[in-house]
Amino acid sequence: MAANAAWRKPTAGFVLLVRRRKDGDETVRLGITVTKKIGNAVVRNRMKRRFRALAADLLPEHGVRGADHILIGRSGGVERPFDTLRRDLASGLAKAGAAR
């Protein structure tokens, strides 16, 4: 999988992967993965909704242009306050932008 070669930023609630596509398209894309280890369908869907809300808030302004951003849910992400997740994602995006 191409995303395995991506830049990684693990946090308590998720792992952020950022990978430049190098295809000339400046679109910021998002992928979300939440496995069954996290919980039942209700818990997984709640986490995906939270990730989508975070991405809609932060990616347009802070995302790396021309890159795929993948959020992989971790078991601690469901209980973490939304503001904490937002800070974690903003910090990860800032570091990803600097690393690229």
Cα 33 off chain centre by: 9
Domains in the chain with CATH codes: 2-99 (3.30.230.10)
Is pLDDT above 70 for 6?
yes
For residue 22, name the pLDDT band (cuts at 50, 70, 90): confident
pLDDT of residue 60: 93
pLDDT of residue 1: 55
Is pLDDT above 60 for 51?
yes
pLDDT, averaged across the chain:
90
Is pLDDT above 70 for 23?
yes
Instruction: Tell me how far apart the alpha carbons of residues 53 and 22 are, in angstroms, rounded to a whole number.
Output: 27
Q: DSSP class of residue 2?
A: G
